[in-house]
Structure 1
Amino acid sequence: MTWHLITTNNLPFHMQIRQLRHALKNIDIVHIRDKEASLQRLKQQIDQLCKIGLRREQIILNEHAEAAAAWELGGVHLPSHSPLTAKEIKKEAPHLQVGASVHNLGEAKARAEEGADYLYYGHVYPSASKPDVPPRGVEALQSVVQAVSVPVLAIGGITRDRLGGIAHTGASGIALISGFWEAEKPEEEASHFNRFGQFSYETI
């Protein structure tokens, strides 16, 4: 596990597809997160991703567990407020990877105990999407990494110059939004982020 790219509502999806087409070889997982989209629209987005070469097992859908299972995707991701648990989902769809967003140590331990396969923890650095909430920092990230046995991905304000700090925490990877979509050369950024596993190995 190295990095997840999360879709954005700040860029039309056809433009996201255009950027992804050139960066696809350096992307592990695409996480579709569009909370206002209908299931029909989400299905269209998935179809577009598959047309440019992404495999279904590389796609994670935010929150909609039944749809993710029906469409044979790689996984579903639960927001921190979701009442669903990984154990409940896996009873119906054992093939799905189930991830969850957490914002503190207690939430992380609870989601891990519920059977989550991985966690997003953040926001680690200042984030434009949450300007009024202080970042939690790398020390808090490291505390979560050390407290749970499942992979933890850092999220929030991730840029290439911050990869070293994240790697030293022992985090298993990173999850990105603006770090990719707002980059001048997304393809180049994807190449750097795709080195996180190697970078982590070299720097810890």
Structure 2
Amino acid sequence: MKFEHGVYLVTEPSGDLAAIVANAVAGGVDLVQVRDKGASTGALIEIVQDLRRRVAVPIVVNDDLDAAQHAAGVHVGVDDLPPSKARRVLGPSAIVGWSVNDPGQLDEVEEMRACDYVAASPVWATHTKPDHQPPLGLEGIRAIAGRTDLPVVAIGGIDVARAAGAVAAGADAVAVVTAITRADDPRRAVADLVEAVREGRGRR
């Protein structure tokens, strides 16, 4: 998995989802994760299929393995199905991402081998997931990035003001929800995030 621009969109339920995603991709998003904990598998499949017709970047699904079979892959959390199971079901060409709440997860060799990237989660507190684990902070990103060759995505409380710092700490990309989905101009918001990622890479 290569994050060219370093911006990863995680969606939230919205009546304007297709337009938001299309504009975000036009701004430079590398990967889109469809996340809607209240949606049925059938609804998720419909969303994925619609987005795949509209944009060329990979679309992955949060947690739902059945819906993920209609997408480019899946992202799973610590309390979801393990990455190794996702890999067995989806096959070698699928994208499999895993949220890392504790650097100790990196010692789980079988699970790490199944992943294409890991997400340091959460870096900062975020209201989009109020039941999250304690924030890792920039030191958490450094700890995770220093122990794996997989791409590391920083997620949780990321906005344009924090993106450069997260990347300078070792993240290869930033995963963003509301700073894109609730922006007046999602395309511009992503372009600003891409610039912040570029700045962060220059500070390493």
| Aligned amino acid, residue 126 of structure 1 | A
Percent sequence identity over aligned pairs: 25
Alignment of 1:24-173 (within 5 A): 24-25=25-26, 26-51=28-53, 53-55=54-56, 58-69=58-69, 71=70, 73-86=71-84, 88-92=85-89, 93-110=91-108, 113-130=112-129, 134-173=134-173
CA 1:124 to 1:195, structure 2 compared with 1: closer, same or farther past 3 Å? Answer: same
Aligned twin of 2:194: 194
Deviation at 1:203, TM superposition (A): 1.8
CA 1:39 to 1:141, structure 2 compared with 1: closer, same or farther past 3 Å? Answer: same
The runs of 5 or more residues in structure 2 that have no matched partner are none
Determine the C-alpha separation between the residues in 1 that align with 2:19 and 2:112.
39
TM-score, normalising length: structure 2: 0.85
8 Å contact from structure 2 (residues 168, 200) kept in 1: yes
CA RMSD of aligned residues (A): 2.2
Determine the C-alpha separation between the residues in 2 that align with 1:164 and 1:67.
33
8 Å contact from structure 1 (residues 108, 119) kept in 2: no
Q: Secondary structure at the match of 2:158?
A: coil
Deviation at 1:121, TM superposition (A): 1.0
Deviation at 1:114, TM superposition (A): 4.2
**Pair 1:3-2:7 in alignment:** yes
Determine the C-alpha separation between the residues in 2 that align with 1:117 and 1:163.
21
| Worse-matched range after superposition: 129-138 or 117-126 | 129-138
| Aligned amino acid, residue 90 of structure 1 | R
8 Å contact from structure 1 (residues 121, 153) kept in 2: yes
Aligned twin of 2:22: 21
Deviation at 1:17, TM superposition (A): 1.7
